[in-house]
C-alpha cells in the first residue's frame, strides 16, 4: 500500500509536494504502477499549482528508474533540437538538465520558450543532490505576468518577440559553452540537414566564412494561453537573448572575466551577439529586457533538492532556474508532450 500527503516545501506555495508516507520501499514496478494510476491526479495538480514534487520513493535511484517513471506519467517525450543549453543524453530521451558549470546560475524561464515547438511539461529528477547551494528556484508565471509593467506587457503583446542567435562553429565551440556550436543545437554536422530543420521550423540560416552561423527564429507571441485552464501568461526568453541581460547575468554570478568579455563584444562586434526583435523589425529595447530580468529575479522561490525527488513542472504556468553550486550536482530531465 502506497500513501502520500500533500504539503509544501517550507512556507512557499510552490512546489506542491506529494510526500510518500507509506510504501517508500515499494519496488520500482510497484512505484511505476502507482504513478500510472495517479497520472490524472498529478496532471490536475500541475494545472492548479504549476509544479508538483514527488518525494520519498527509494526505488527512484537511477536514470533507468526515472525513465520508467516518465513512461508512466508522460504521453510522449521530445528531443532537445534547437535548444540553447549544453546537455548530454543519459538514457533514451533522458538528458542532463544543463551542462553549464556551477559558476553559472540560470535565470527563471520556461523551457525552449524561444521557439514554437516546446515541451508542455518537464520532469526533473535529482540523482545527486547539490553539495552546496544549487537550488532550483521556481516562479508562478501568472504572478510574474501580473508584476510586469503594463507598458511592457502591451508592447510585447502587440509586437511579439523573435530571436537572432549567433552559433559557434563546431571546430571552435566548447562542449559546455554559451553560445553553443550549431552542430549541438541541431544534433547534426550535416549542413543540408541543418537547413532542412530550419526550413521546417521557419527559421532563416546565414552561414559565415568561419563556419559559424547566424540564426533568425520566427517572431512568436510573447504570451501563451494554457491549453486547459485558459490562463494567458508571459512565455518567452527575451531576457536570455539580449546582451544587456547577459551582462546582468554575469554580474549576478560574479563572473568578472565574462562581464569584461561581453562588454568588449557589445562595443566591438554587437552584430555577432544574440538579440531579440519585434514583429515590425525593431530591436527589443534594453530597458524592456532589463525590466523583465528584474521582475524574474524578484520572483524566485528557492527550495532544496533531496535524492530521488521528481519535480513535474507545467511549462506554461511555472518557470524554473538554477542557483550556483559547488561540488557534485546531477539533475536529469525529460521533456513531456501532452
Region 255-283: mean pLDDT is: 95
178: nearest Cα among 271, 268, 99, 265? 99
- 3-state SS, 48-78, equals HHCEEEEECCCCCCCHHHHHHHHHHHCCEEC
Predicted confidence (pLDDT) at residue 174 exceeds the cutoff of 70: no
Architecture of the domain whose range is 3-137+302-337: 4-Layer Sandwich (3.60)
Is residue 84 predicted with pLDDT exceeding 60?
yes
Q: Tell me the C-alpha distance between 336 and 79, whole Å.
A: 10
Average pLDDT of span 322-327: 97
Residue 271 has what pLDDT? 87
Q: Report the b/e string of 289-300 with b at 16+ CB within 10 A.
A: bbbbbebbbebb
Give the pLDDT band (50/70/90) at residue 324: very high
Residue 107: phi, psi to the nearest 5?
-70, 160
Mean pLDDT over each residue of the chain, to the nearest integer: 94
Banded model confidence at residue 176, pLDDT cuts 50, 70, 90: low
Determine contact, residues 128/328, Cβ cutoff 8 Å. yes
Query: Would you state the pLDDT for residue 13?
Result: 82
pLDDT digits (tens, 9 = 90+) for 247-267: 999 999 999 999 999 999 999
- 305, 331 contact by CB (below 8 A): yes
Asked whether the predicted pLDDT for residue 212 surpasses 80, the reply is yes
The string of pLDDT tens digits covering residues 106-142 is: 999 999 999 888 999 999 999 999 999 999 999 999 9
Q: Which residues pair with 166 in a beta bridge?
A: 214
- For the chain, residues classed under CATH 3.60.130.10 are 3-137+302-337, 147-297
Mean pLDDT on 231-249: 97
What confidence tier does 88 reach under pLDDT thresholds 50, 70, 90? confident
Element (H, E) at 198: helix 191-200
Instruction: Give the model's confidence band at 97: pLDDT under 50 very low, under 70 low, under 90 confident, else very high.
Output: very high
pLDDT of residue 172: 73
Q: What is the CATH number that goes with domain 147-297?
A: 3.60.130.10
Distance CA 224, CA 245 (A): 22
pLDDT tens for each residue of 295-308? 999 999 999 999 99
pLDDT at 173 over 60: no
| 281 phi-psi bin (left φ>0, alpha ψ -120 to 50, beta other) | left
The predicted pLDDT at position 217 comes to: 94
Per-residue cell: 77: 517525450
- Which triple of cell numbers denotes residue 85? 543549453
Q: Tell me the per-residue pLDDT of 182-202, one tens digit each, with 9 for 90 and over.
A: 998 898 999 999 999 999 999
Q: Is residue 266 exposed (0-12), middle (13-18) or buried (19+ Cβ within 10 Å)?
A: middle
Closest CA to 139 of 9, 14, 10: 14
Percent of the chain whose pLDDT exceeds 90: 86
Determine the angle formed by the axes of helices 63-73 and 28-37, rounding to 10 degrees: 30
Amino acid at each position: 500500500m502506497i500513501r502520500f500527503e500533500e504539503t509544501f516545501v517550507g512556507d512557499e506555495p510552490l512546489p506542491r509536494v506529494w510526500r510518500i508516507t507509506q510504501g517508500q520501499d515499494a519496488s520500482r514496478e510497484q512505484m511505476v504502477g502507482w504513478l500510472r494510476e495517479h497520472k490524472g491526479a498529478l496532471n490536475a495538480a500541475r494545472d492548479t499549482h504549476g509544479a508538483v514534487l514527488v518525494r520519498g520513493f527509494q526505488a527512484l535511484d537511477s536514470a533507468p528508474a526515472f525513465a520508467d517513471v516518465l513512461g508512466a506519467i508522460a504521453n510522449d517525450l521530445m528531443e532537445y533540437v534547437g535548444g540553447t543549453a549544453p546537455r548530454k543524453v543519459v538514457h533514451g530521451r533522458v538528458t542532463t538538465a544543463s551542462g553549464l558549470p556551477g559558476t553559472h546560475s540560470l535565470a527563471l524561464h520556461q523551457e525552449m520558450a524561444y521557439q514554437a515547438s516546446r515541451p508542455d511539461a518537464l520532469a526533473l529528477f535529482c540523482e545527486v543532490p547539490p553539495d552546496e547551494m544549487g537550488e532550483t528556484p521556481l516562479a508562478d508565471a501568472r504572478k510574474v505576468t501580473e508584476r510586469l509593467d503594463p507598458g511592457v506587457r502591451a508592447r510585447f503583446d502587440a509586437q511579439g518577440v523573435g530571436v537572432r542567435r549567433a552559433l559557434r562553429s563546431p571546430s571552435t565551440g566548447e562542449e559546455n559553452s554559451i553560445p553553443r556550436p550549431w552542430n549541438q543545437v541541431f544534433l547534426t554536422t550535416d549542413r543540408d540537414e541543418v537547413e532542412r530543420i530550419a526550413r521546417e521550423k521557419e527559421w532563416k540560416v546565414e552561414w559565415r566564412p568561419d563556419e559559424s552561423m547566424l540564426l533568425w527564429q520566427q517572431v512568436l507571441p510573447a504570451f501563451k494561453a494554457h491549453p486547459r485552464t485558459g490562463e494567458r501568461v508571459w512565455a518567452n526568453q527575451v531576457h536570455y537573448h539580449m546582451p544587456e541581460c547577459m551582462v546582468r547575468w554575469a554580474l549576478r554570478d560574479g563572473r568578472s572575466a565574462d562581464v569584461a568579455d561581453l562588454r568588449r563584444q557589445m562595443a566591438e562586434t554587437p552584430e555577432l551577439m544574440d538579440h531579440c526583435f519585434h514583429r515590425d523589425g525593431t530591436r527589443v529595447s534594453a530597458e524592456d529586457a532589463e525590466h523583465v530580468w528584474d521582475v524574474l529575479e524578484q520572483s524566485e522561490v528557492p527550495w532544496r533538492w533531496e535524492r530521488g525527488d521528481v519535480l513535474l513542472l507545467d511549462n506554461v504556468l511555472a518557470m524554473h532556474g538554477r542557483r550556483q553550486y559547488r561540488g557534485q550536482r546531477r539533475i536529469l530531465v525529460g521533456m513531456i508532450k501532452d
